[in-house]
Amino acid sequence: MTGRRIMTADEIRRAVVRISHELVEKQAGTAGLALVGIQRRGVPLARRLADAVDEHEGVRLPVGALDITFYRDDLSLVAAQPVVKGTELPFDLNGATIVLVDDVLYTGRTIRAAMDALVDFGRPQAIRLAVLVDRGHRELPIRADHVGKNVPTSREEVVRVHLTEIDGEDDVEIERRVDAAVVEPIPEGIV
Amino acid sequence: MAERGWMAVAPGRPTGVAIGAAVADLEISRAWLVDPSSGREGPGELVVSDGVLEAVSWLAGDEAAGIDDGGVIVAPGFIDLHAHLREPGNEDAETVASALAAAAHGGFTAVCAMPNTSPPADEPGVLSLVRAAAAASGSPVALLPYGTVSAGRAGEVLAAIGELADAGAVGFSDDGAPVRSGSLLRNALLYAGAIGLPIVDHPEDLEQTSGAEANEGLVATILGLRGWPGAGEVAAVARDLAIFADVLTDSPGARLHLTHLSTAAAVEQVRAAKRRGLPVTCDVTPHHVALTGEWLAGARRWAWQALDDSGRARDPWADGVLVAEPYDQSTRVNPPLRSADDAAACLAALVDGTADAVATDHAPHTVVDKAVEFGVAATGISGIETALGLLLAAVDAGRLTLGRAIGALTTGPASILGARLGRSAGLTEGAPADLVVFDRSDGWRVSADGLVSRGKNSPLIGQTLSGRVLLTLAGGRLAYEDPALADPYALPARHPWRHRLGAGRSPGDRRTDARRSNGDTPSPNNRRSASAMRSSRIARRLLGQLVPLARPGPAGGPSSTLRA
Amino acid sequence: MSLDVERPGVGDAPAAGDSTPAGGRPPAVDRPPAAGAWLHRHLLDVDALSWPDIDLVLRTTDAMREVLARPIAKVPALRGTNVTILFYEASTRTRVSFEVAARNLSADVSNIAVASSSVTKGESLVDTVKTVEALGARILVIRHAVSGAPYLAASVFTGHVLNGGDGWHAHPTQALLDLYTMRSRLAGDVAVTAPGAGRFLSGRKVVIVGDVLHSRVARSNIWTLTAAGADLWLCGPATLLRGFEAWARAGAGGVADRRFTVTSDLAAALRDADAVMALRIQQERMAGGMLPSLREYAARYGLTAERLGAAKPAAFVLHPGPMNEGVEIAPDVASGPRSVITDQVTNGVAVRMALLYLLAGSAGGEALGG
């Protein structure tokens, strides 16, 4: 770890619990709600949210995974991130209230692509957005309904979310991007 | 550092000799001379005066110190037994003029033109057309035309062999195709044999090779190309040899020459036939000696590098040597580039004399005819300018001696052409100067722009070959001059050359002329004294300049007698 | 044909989070390709694909199969990209397969069936390719009757060339869909590229029966199946196996553990086979003097249910199509329970979608074709 930790494991847990309550509150219940995590780290987050809702509401919300690889607007990214992780939406979207779940909200393009993908699967009643970190710098008119933590950042900084299911530990860190001449491996989840 | 041959150029003055003009005055000192016709090779000097090779001196002892065969070399002008000049009928691919210029760039001073033009040279009118084009080109390179064997190259009836012979044909060939009918071949051998001219056959069994694209073998299999079986050549050679043997009993003067042999088995048949006393001759091309079918798959190594220690062809995929794109149309040729062991057999045939000569099968094509799908691309390699380089690659690799390489380009073809060549094939004093000067230590990168021929279809484009041709003289006239020679400052400092190259007449010749016009014919005594004058002048120069010049001498130095 | 990689500079790569500033192609910033990315500008042959390349294709194909299973089987990945399909050989199924694949990626498709090659009709291949490029083609799918034609096209086309089959030489998309089909039947969804993994057909006997000599499907499958570790057998009349013995002994790529077996003994070939592929026999082979008659071929080499009894009970049958039912394959085998021919068709669309996607996004580097 080379950066500064901005969320600890406990903070992440509390944010997830809080958001899970907010989801139900906004919907005034659990009926019609479905969680769709955006690959890659949005998926375990969506599962954790579903677990949390199950704990305090006793209802198991449907959880799906959405890969927006084919919906990106920049073909050159194919080489940067070649591996496709797969989409799985094992429920009917028609009339459902879909909550998209992602780890970091930045320019908004991933969410736009996710919405394009969703409408190819059906016609949801509503689409909402829950993110763990909102780092600002929106380039599209997109807003999250539920935010774990607002983190003002500059464009030179990198926000990295680690989740146990994928990275073996829970935290969120931020660091200044290293010198341009150094080739860094592109972390997962970047669009 | 060993001293190479030297040549002094009047500073700041181009040599000023036009292509085709007689060379009045050329002296080359301290070069490596190769003269297969006399069997001699070694350090030497020569003097050309008024187009005639006045003196050839071999150096020995201290004078010869430091001169070896790795630098500037002087050889007799090369003779190409097999070239396609394309005129008349396909002037976009090549004209007689461009072909002869290309030949000179390759070091050739005599070229035998194949008759598969359009119209084909099956009667004297076409022959005179071709010779007129040669004369009009102003090139001093000799054009020796073949006539066809059959009328129209149709393979059915004999062409006007006698008339063609009278019009100057040096032999007969249906090349591009074999003489299809055995009985026609028999008759042609008899008829031409009585006149004393050879039949040059392109041995190919068309039934076996119909539609073929690449040598039958691993490369053809993997690239999905229709195979060209070796048996297609071997069967044809066997047929030709059998017919020839029969004909000889009736006509001992008959002569058969098999051209561009490419397979080990065919070469072996000729070897066995020669051992039995059959007066058959054959040639191989530089590309069949140095390249292999691997080049179609994208390999770019020499044939001898593609052979393992037990003499078997290596697998280019296993060796990881595929560096170029496959299906390069410039590698499509008839006969096809064969396997490494076939190439080795062709090289061995050159070494032991089974192959009497190297002939280029220069086959220029337009871009249009070649830039199409491989299987429909025209066959042929534009090779007259790269022949020397390919043979030198074999010499550099120790697979061939320099003497044998030069012999295959000079005395070998001369022995097949006989009197029809019209000149000696060696560095012969008193004969018109016919020679090539090349620098083995200087390479040249083959490029489309650098090729003089209109045909840029060479698989060697992008490769660097050794043996840059500096000067070619044909019949005493200048045929080719490397552009660097005209600019003394472009001469590489590492090998101080000295040559004087002038057109027009020098003071000594004017005195000879004056005597001649006074009715005094130059007696042999006078001639000798003229050459003795030259030799002593060289001796004086040598004695005075034992330290080689790194730069041309100051103006007014010994070169001041140069007349441009 | 080497993997020449030209990596774009890192430049001003954006931070973690969402996408690049500018939409559409090409990006304002460059990123280096990730390890295991697709770096080939063209796909002309399978022999230059590395194992990671093949695995990437298979995994992308998995994702494309999922797309095909959706109610709207379409994604916008190639929106705005023109894919031109240039077929010099008559072929309905493959041409349509490519078109469907391109449309499923929302590409603009131009589908051109050229009656013949430059040898009989006016315009040369080079001119046609340049024209097609001037008309906006970014990806060119080309099928041609002469081996090597796609290389000529690639030498003058500035976009991406995908070989849809050239002469006898190669049919990369077919070999990849065959591999995909075999993998799904024999190896499940095993992730084939844990480093050092791979050879998922190891221990499996795969047999190709038919006119191998004239088959680009056979040649390309030799590369992929031996790379996957299969025990590959080629079987047919000796006249149609000419030249393959030398290659079999040398091994694909000259590699010893990529050798295969060539035989005219059908019974030996089929014994305990895990997968059998039948190749089409064409009428022209009789005219070429290679076969006495189709009837004799069918009698000696036709794939019947009875002959297939010698194979493993779970063995399945493939055919690249179109089929001559009753000649190389019996009708009941072609439509029977062992046949995976329809899977091949579906997988074909998915594989072609994957390849179009990967080519379109290839770093545009100077990777040599193939």
Predicted confidence (pLDDT) at residue B291 exceeds the cutoff of 70: yes
Residue C234: Cβ-neighbour burial (10 angstroms; 0-12, 13-18, 19+)? buried
Asked if C66's CB is within 8 angstroms of A120's CB, the reply is no
pLDDT score for B62: 85
Contacts of B225 in chain C (CB under 8 A): 147-148, 167-169
Chains that touch C (3 or more CB pairs under 8 A): A, B
Q: For residue B134, what is the enclosing H or E element?
A: helix B124-137
Domain that holds residue C291: 173-340
Establish whether domains B25-69+432-436+444-561 and B77-421 are of one fold: no
Q: Give me the long-range contacts of B292-295 (CB less than 8 A, separation at least 24).
A: B292/B337, B292/B338, B292/B339, B292/B340, B292/B342, B292/B343, B293/B214, B293/B215, B293/B217, B293/B219, B293/B220, B293/B336, B293/B337, B293/B338, B293/B339, B294/B219, B294/B321, B294/B337, B294/B340, B295/B324, B295/B328, B295/B331, B295/B337, B295/B459
Among candidates C117, C167, C253 on the partner chain, residue whose Cβ is nearest the Cβ of B224: C167
Task: Average the pLDDT over each of B130-139, B320-329, B346-355, B541-550 and give the range with the smallest value.
Answer: B541-550
In a domain, A185, yes or no: no
Among candidates C15, C21, C70 on the partner chain, residue whose Cβ is nearest the Cβ of A159: C15
Domain that holds residue A153: 9-157
Predicted confidence (pLDDT) at residue B60 exceeds the cutoff of 60: yes
Residue C113: Cβ-neighbour burial (10 angstroms; 0-12, 13-18, 19+)? middle
Residue C193 and residue C257 in one domain? yes
In a domain, A60, yes or no: yes
Query: Which of C7, C12, C19 is the best residue to mutate to test the A interface, defined by the most A CB atoms within 10 Å of its own CB?
Result: C19
Cα–Cα distance for residue pair C344/C318, rounded to 1 Å: 8
pLDDT score for A57: 94
Q: In which band, very low, low, confident or very high, does the pLDDT at C187 lie, cut at 50, 70 and 90?
A: confident
Asked if A117's CB is within 8 angstroms of C19's CB, the reply is no
What radius of gyration do chain A's Cα atoms show?
Answer: 16
For the stretch B351-366, pLDDT in tens is 999 999 999 999 999 9
Roughly what angle, to the nearest 10 degrees, separates helices B264-275 and B231-250? 20
Residue C126 and residue C180 in one domain? no
Among candidates B226, B325, B376 on the partner chain, residue whose Cβ is nearest the Cβ of C151: B325
Among candidates A75, A105, A157 on the partner chain, residue whose Cβ is nearest the Cβ of C360: A75
**Structurally, how many domains does chain A consist of?**
1
- Write the CATH number for C134: 3.40.50.1370
Please indicate whether residue B174 is annotated as part of the active site. no
Residue C209 and residue C304 in one domain? yes
C259 close contact with B: CB closer than 8 A: no
ipTM of the complex: 0.86
Contacts of C74 in chain A (CB under 8 A): 120
Chains that touch A (3 or more CB pairs under 8 A): C
pLDDT score for C216: 96
Predicted confidence (pLDDT) at residue C276 exceeds the cutoff of 90: yes
B68 close contact with C: CB closer than 8 A: no
Asked if B374's CB is within 8 angstroms of C148's CB, the reply is yes
Query: Could you please report the per-residue DSSP string of B225-276?
Result: --EE-THHHHHHHHHHHHHHHHHHHH-TT--EEE-----HHHHHHHHHHHHT
pLDDT score for C190: 52
Residue A77 distance to chain C (closest CA, Å): 7
Residue C144 and residue C228 in one domain? no
Contacts of C18 in chain A (CB under 8 A): 104-111, 139, 191
Cα–Cα distance for residue pair B126/B132, rounded to 1 Å: 10
CA neighbor of B5 nearest in space, from B71, B89, B57:
B71
For chain B, the structural domain boundaries read 25-69+432-436+444-561, 77-421
Among candidates A79, A107, A183 on the partner chain, residue whose Cβ is nearest the Cβ of C17: A107
Asked if A110's CB is within 8 angstroms of C25's CB, the reply is no
Asked if C118's CB is within 8 angstroms of B376's CB, the reply is yes
Q: At the fourth CATH level, which superfamily is domain B25-69+432-436+444-561?
A: Urease, subunit C, domain 1 (2.30.40.10)
Residue C125 and residue C191 in one domain? no
For the stretch C94-110, pLDDT in tens is 999 999 999 999 999 99
Chains that touch B (3 or more CB pairs under 8 A): C
Nearest CA in chain C to A175: C15
In a domain, C1, yes or no: no
Asked if B375's CB is within 8 angstroms of C167's CB, the reply is yes
Residue C94 and residue C214 in one domain? no
A160 close contact with C: CB closer than 8 A: yes
Going through B20-87 in order, the beta strands assigned E by DSSP cover: 25-35, 40-49, 52-58, 72-76, 78-83
Asked if A121's CB is within 8 angstroms of C71's CB, the reply is yes
In a domain, A40, yes or no: yes
Please report, rounded to a whole number, the percentage of residues in chain A having pLDDT higher than 90.
72
Query: Which of B207, B216, B218, B222 is the best residue to mutate to test the C interface, defined by the most C CB atoms within 10 Å of its own CB?
Result: B222
Class of domain B77-421: alpha beta
Residue C321 and residue C202 in one domain? yes
In a domain, C246, yes or no: yes
B216 close contact with C: CB closer than 8 A: yes
pLDDT score for B162: 96
In a domain, C14, yes or no: no
In a domain, C27, yes or no: no
Neighbours of C257 (CB within 10 A): 10
Contacts of B223 in chain C (CB under 8 A): 147-148, 169
A28 close contact with C: CB closer than 8 A: no
Cα–Cα distance for residue pair C292/B182, rounded to 1 Å: 30
Q: For residue B516, what is the enclosing H or E element?
A: helix B507-517
Contacts of C252 in chain B (CB under 8 A): 317
In a domain, C319, yes or no: yes
Residue C219 and residue C304 in one domain? yes
| CA-angle at B14, arms to B10 and B16, nearest 5° | 115
Average confidence (pLDDT) over B424-448: 93
Helix (H, G, I), strand (E, B) or coil at B144: strand
For the stretch B496-525, pLDDT in tens is 345 555 544 444 444 544 555 454 444 444
Nearest CA in chain C to B214: C147
CA neighbor of B502 nearest in space, from B562, B458, B550:
B562
Question: Per the structure block, which two tokens stand in for B77?
Answer: 């002008």
Cα–Cα distance for residue pair C275/C126, rounded to 1 Å: 40
**Structurally, how many domains does chain C consist of?**
2
* Contacting C residues, span 205-224, partner chain B, CB-CB under 8 Å: 216, 219
Q: For residue C103, what is the enclosing H or E element?
A: helix C92-104
Q: Read off the DSSP letter of residue A1.
A: -
Selecting among B356, B361, B434, B482, the annotated active-site residue is B361
Cα–Cα distance for residue pair C319/B93, rounded to 1 Å: 47
In a domain, A41, yes or no: yes
Residue C194 and residue C299 in one domain? yes
Residue B383: CB partners within 8 Å, gap ≥ 6?
B285, B286, B287, B360, B361, B362, B363, B458
pLDDT score for A2: 67
Please report, rounded to a whole number, the percentage of residues in chain A having pLDDT higher than 70.
89
- Write the CATH number for A149: 3.40.50.2020
Neighbours of B259 (CB within 10 A): 22
CA–CA distances in Å: residue C314 to residues C2, C135, C179, C235, C308: 38, 50, 17, 20, 11
Among candidates B226, B227, B322 on the partner chain, residue whose Cβ is nearest the Cβ of C1: B322
In a domain, A175, yes or no: no
Q: In which band, very low, low, confident or very high, does the pLDDT at B5 lie, cut at 50, 70 and 90?
A: very low
Residue C138 and residue C286 in one domain? no
Asked if C363's CB is within 8 angstroms of A76's CB, the reply is yes
Asked if C81's CB is within 8 angstroms of A76's CB, the reply is no
B317 close contact with C: CB closer than 8 A: yes
For tokens 């084009």, what's the residue? B133
Task: Average the pLDDT over each of B204-218, B496-510, C300-314 and give the range with the smallest value.
Answer: B496-510
Contacts of B317 in chain C (CB under 8 A): 47, 250, 252-254
* Contacting B residues, span 418-477, partner chain C, CB-CB under 8 Å: none
Asked if A77's CB is within 8 angstroms of C361's CB, the reply is yes
Cα Dmax for chain A: 52
Asked if C216's CB is within 8 angstroms of B216's CB, the reply is no
Predicted confidence (pLDDT) at residue C18 exceeds the cutoff of 90: no
CA–CA distances in Å: residue A169 to residues A1, A10, A51, A162, A177: 12, 11, 18, 6, 22
For the stretch B77-136, pLDDT in tens is 999 999 999 999 999 999 999 999 999 999 999 999 999 999 999 999 999 999 999 999
Asked if B318's CB is within 8 angstroms of C147's CB, the reply is no
Query: Which of A66, A75, A93 is the best residue to mutate to test the C interface, defined by the most C CB atoms within 10 Å of its own CB?
Result: A75
